[in-house]
Structure 1
Amino acid sequence: MCIIFFHFNPNSSSAYRLILAANRDEFYSRPSKPAEFWTNNCNILSGLDMEKGKEGGTWLGMSKKGKCAALTNYLQSSSNMEGLGRGFLVPNFLTQDIDGLSYLKKISLQGHLYNGFNLLTADFSTKGDMMCYYGNKSHEEPRVLDPGIYGLCNSLLETPWKKLVHGKKLFTETIQKNCSLSPKNLTEELLNVMTNEEIQLPAADIEEQGQDFIRPILKEFSALFIRTPIYGTRTSTIILVDAEGHVTFTERCLLEPGTSQWKLSSYQFDLEM
């Protein structure tokens, strides 16, 4: 499970074109690599899933060519074990010469072959910035997003779960107060938001959607930052794209479950437009 907040401000000449803050929630035992530029494609930056049979998938990534994508699972009470691997939806977009809307339309033709997911794509270029969304449980076509502030968790885009509304409020207040800060300082403020552990109960909507799967951890799952003995928030990522196409990509990874030991990595690069 994951949660993402983002401010899309396309073609801004003075402010950030994208401010994105995301948490990745996963079982601590699932192997993965922290974000780094790929060895076989030095233009793409992302963490990588290393689960056997799913190696190379990812939940969030960006390329120097101005493409960005992020994935969340749709909370379901049960999953189809024969479903296609959702983790490859992000890298497949980042490595293909195709715009986000066209890619999502292509994926939507096979949406029924996957377990539930939400997929965001972004294209930053001199021709115009574009951000798109598709959820295979929405029964709607992929769409281009208007400029604005959005929240996405494990239901459809902007579904008003209490935790999403709470987190979006914190995110919005933070960027409104601090949007003129340097990338380093704004990143620090956003990381503070993403570590918020305030329980957001009651959560009848989450329980209804997740049923038996989510009930054992409903209390913990209702917070932005999740912490349980075997499952929780393992990675927080902040992506900033400024008016000049300069990208700051910062990732904080949990080193040891049950501790507050984190590894912080930051990458900066200019988009090749």
Structure 2
Amino acid sequence: MCLILFAHRASAEYPLLVAANRDEFHARPTAASDFWQEHPGVLAGRDLEAGGTWMGISADRRFAAVTNYRDPQRTAPAPRSRGELTSLYLTGDQSPRDYLLELEDRADDYAGFNLLLGDGKDLWYFSNQRTGNGGPRALAPGIYGLSNAALDTPWPKVTRGKQALQQLLAGAPTHERLAVTVSDRELATPGQLSGQGLHGEMDQLLSAQFIVNPTYGTRATTTLWQDATGRRHWRETSFAPTGEPSGAVEKVVP
């Protein structure tokens, strides 16, 4: 997943709002989100190649999402799949803090990642790129954006998305309104990219919030919010390589 916008306790009525795009090669086999047969309390999509997931929730109010950390200088395969970072948390019983503290010892077994974990009250962030203060941290209430660099790196698509999410908080969330915050298909200008040290053709392709390309692009948009009663409202919309919707899964989890 390559773009996650989220509001953590920025609203008393909606403690968590999320809009996210998963960008991946279209050839990579994927199962749309559903409750997992072996873990009926987990609602998530599944990467059928490595078995993990990019984002999911659970019946005990867990939330997990991961993005890769893009570093063109480090492209060697890692021993373990980043998708297990989320799936192990969703199917386990550790607190976000305990899980991340334990993960620190094996974080280098994975290619570069950003990881978000929640338990219905607190939300934690950790990257094995040792950004910021270098370790797991609980997030203060606020609006955040995460792509393929450190949390809140002001890439154009992140900055635009955070502004849109801020405006959305003025009213009640809907899946349609949340999806709009990550739907922009316009590419950033070379000037906008150079300010963040991004210059190549691939950087240009990836600069859109919603990527349309026959080989690699936005495969799914997931929208989620938690209301004051604790219910989670979830929708995942899948997309064809043309950028056209190809299916949707919508659930409400108590």
| TM-score (norm. length: structure 1) | 0.86
State whether structure 2 residue 23 is matched by structure 1 residue 25: yes
Amino acid of the residue matched to residue 192 of structure 1? Answer: V
Structure 2: tracts of 5 or more residues without a match: none
Q: Which residue of 2 aligns with 1:61?
A: 56
Amino acid of the residue matched to residue 108 of structure 1? Answer: E
Query: Structure 1 residue 132: deviation in Å?
Result: 0.3
Pick aligned residue for 2:142 from 135, 142, 148? 148
State whether structure 2 residue 130 is matched by structure 1 residue 138: yes
Query: Structure 1 residue 161: deviation in Å?
Result: 1.3
Cα distance change, pair 249–216 in 1 and its aligned pair in 2 (3 A): same
| TM-score (norm. length: structure 2) | 0.92
Cα shift readout 1:5-46 (whole Å, capped 9, x = no counterpart): 101118x7x501110110000011000000000011110000
How far apart, in 2, do the equivalents of 1:241 and 1:253 lie?
22
- Aligned residue for 2:169, secondary structure, equals helix
How far apart, in 1, do the equivalents of 2:197 and 2:55 lie?
26
Query: Structure 1 residue 259: deviation in Å?
Result: 4.8
Query: Structure 1 residue 167: deviation in Å?
Result: 1.6
What are the equivalent positions in structure 2 for 1:108-119 lying under 5 Å apart?
Answer: 108-119=104-115
How far apart, in 2, do the equivalents of 1:207 and 1:216 lie?
13
Q: Counting helix residues as a fraction of each chain, which structure ranks higher?
A: 1
Q: Which residue of 2 aligns with 1:237?
A: 222
How far apart, in 2, do the equivalents of 1:113 and 1:206 lie?
28
Query: Structure 1 residue 220: deviation in Å?
Result: 2.3
Cα contact 1:83–1:113 (8 A) shared by 2? yes
- Aligned residue for 1:194, secondary structure, equals coil
How far apart, in 2, do the equivalents of 1:134 and 1:261 lie?
32
How far apart, in 2, do the equivalents of 1:50 and 1:25 lie?
15
Query: Structure 1 residue 2: deviation in Å?
Result: 1.0
Amino acid of the residue matched to residue 125 of structure 2? Answer: Y
Cα contact 1:207–1:218 (8 A) shared by 2? no
Cα distance change, pair 49–225 in 1 and its aligned pair in 2 (3 A): same
How many matched pairs?
249
How far apart, in 1, do the equivalents of 2:160 and 2:144 lie?
12
How far apart, in 1, do the equivalents of 2:37 and 2:9 lie?
32
Q: Which residue of 2 aligns with 1:196?
A: 184
- Aligned residue for 2:111, secondary structure, equals coil
Query: Structure 1 residue 200: deviation in Å?
Result: 1.7
Query: Structure 1 residue 130: deviation in Å?
Result: 0.7
How far apart, in 2, do the equivalents of 1:154 and 1:45 lie?
24
Cα shift readout 1:94-134 (whole Å, capped 9, x = no counterpart): 1111000111111111122221000000011xxxx111000
Cα contact 1:5–1:150 (8 A) shared by 2? yes
Query: Structure 1 residue 217: deviation in Å?
Result: 2.8
Query: Structure 1 residue 194: deviation in Å?
Result: 1.8
- Aligned residue for 1:112, secondary structure, equals helix
Amino acid of the residue matched to residue 66 of structure 1? Answer: R
Query: Structure 1 residue 240: deviation in Å?
Result: 0.8
Cα distance change, pair 205–231 in 1 and its aligned pair in 2 (3 A): farther
What are the equivalent positions in structure 2 for 1:13-92 lying under 5 Å apart?
Answer: 14-51=12-49, 54=50, 56-77=51-72, 78-92=74-88
Query: Structure 1 residue 160: deviation in Å?
Result: 1.2
- Aligned residue for 2:180, secondary structure, equals helix
**In percent, how many aligned pairs have the same letter?**
35
How far apart, in 1, do the equivalents of 2:146 and 2:99 lie?
20
Amino acid of the residue matched to residue 137 of structure 1? Answer: Q
Amino acid of the residue matched to residue 93 of structure 2? Answer: D
